[in-house]
Amino acid sequence: MLEIMTIVGARPQFIKAAVFSRRVRTAPFADKIHEVLVHTGQHYDDTMSDVFFRDMEIPEPEYNLGIGSGTHGATTGAMLAGIEKLIIERKPDVVLVYGDTNSTLAGALAASKLHIPVAHVEAGLRSFMMAMPEEQNRVLTDHLSTWLFCPTSAAVDNLQKEGIGISKPQKPTADNKDVVECGDIMYEGSLFYREKAIEKTKDFMSKMPKKFYLLTIHRAENTDDRERMASIVRAINRFKDVEAVFPVHPRTRKMLAQYDLQFESHVHLIDPVGYFEMLALENACEFVLTDSGGVQKEAYFFGKPCITLRESTEWVELVAHGWNRLTGANEKKIEEALAEMPVLGDNHLLYGEGTTSKVIADVLLENS
């Protein structure tokens, strides 16, 4: 029996873990793989954490480290110590991490220092902005990992430029990695959950405007910079052709109040929503305005164009195929992009066929 210790801590990871956990708990993997789910506590309130486990029927984590918020160094260090202790106790065969959060890096560091192989899902993504904590986390995790599960060919190319090629070793190691282009696990999740989400959120959606665009803002590069936030708010306030629905991240709400920035009445601020509500909003909206990496992709999954409030994106194929437009926090660029929406991209299939979790499970069983 292959024991996989999966580390999660933030909303996008709960969604990805739900897809993989469901796969390995059903035939033909249930009698071959045992998954131990570890929640670091990085997202710890009900709206950002517990609701996802309930709605998506993810097994309750066997361990919750309860780390909570804090500075990058303090939280990553606490996660590293907590995960290391569990690895020593459990002695898993593989530690699996998702994405680019502090939980991701802590899991990879703890495992690699104890000589436990690391599997990184969403490997190879690059924004080419090392000032971003997420970029630091994903680059370091890739170089610590044994299996690199890439969602796109662009991600594979990024790894090759860093000297990590596709060698397909018989027994992969951190020094002789296995790079696998497997499609996007979030795409698989959206395919599985979308009908259920639409059915379960009818009452919630009845309270939304008939025509709206979806707005999300949470990245530190925007929220921690008053001028960037002010520029974004001004541009949105001036665009009144379409109403906006804005599920407000707790940190974003705090910073808006601190900066004394307010949205006009055509922007509807609501509390953070669960995954099903988010899928329903993405399904119903005209287009998306965001600084989130995951929401950029989810917009594409639902055939909705996206404006991204960043200077770069790790999902370069969305820009190349016309589904995403980068504006940064430039007031004029945001206004121009909003005025032109919706502009649809082409029909190229970008993120696989929705079988990512099976590919990951098969590879880990074959090569562990």
Instruction: Please state the pTM of the whole predicted model.
Output: 0.86
Contact 229, 223 (CB under 8 A): yes
Does the structure show a pLDDT above 70 at 61? yes
Active site residues: 218
* Terminal C-alpha separation, the chain: 11
pLDDT for the residue 88: 98
Residue 50 is given by DSSP the state: I
pLDDT digits (tens, 9 = 90+) for 120-169: 999 999 989 898 899 999 999 999 999 999 999 999 999 999 999 877 88
| 15 plus 152 within the same structural domain | yes
State which amino acid sits at residue 352: G
Report strand pairing: 94-98 vs 178-181: unpaired
Handedness of CA 320, 325, 327, 328 (dihedral sign): negative
Q: What's the CATH number where 30 sits?
A: 3.40.50.2000
| 37 plus 105 within the same structural domain | yes
Once rounded to an integer, what is the mean pLDDT over residues 53-64?
Answer: 77
Residue carrying the six token digits 């990879």: 108
DSSP assignments along 114-133, one per residue: TT--EEEETTT---S-TTSH
Coil, helix or strand for 353? coil
Does the structure show a pLDDT above 60 at 46? no
| 122 plus 267 within the same structural domain | no
Burial class (CB in 10 A: 0-12, 13-18, 19+), 207: exposed
pLDDT, mean over the chain:
93
| 63 plus 40 within the same structural domain | yes
Query: Residue 345: inside a domain, yes or no?
Result: no
Query: Residue 346: inside a domain, yes or no?
Result: no
Indicate the number of domains in the chain: 2
| 133 plus 158 within the same structural domain | yes
State which amino acid sits at residue 342: P
Once rounded to an integer, what is the mean pLDDT over residues 190-207?
Answer: 94
| 363 plus 240 within the same structural domain | no
| 227 plus 171 within the same structural domain | no
Query: Residue 72: inside a domain, yes or no?
Result: yes
| 26 plus 150 within the same structural domain | yes
| 46 plus 141 within the same structural domain | yes
Domain assignment of residue 314, given as a range: 195-340
pLDDT for the residue 359: 97
With CA atoms as reference, report the closest residue to 46 among 216, 272, 282, 280: 272
At 248, the pLDDT band (50, 70, 90 cuts) reads very high
| 233 plus 266 within the same structural domain | yes
CA distance 179 to 236: 41
| 135 plus 249 within the same structural domain | no
| 229 plus 301 within the same structural domain | yes
At 48, the pLDDT band (50, 70, 90 cuts) reads very low
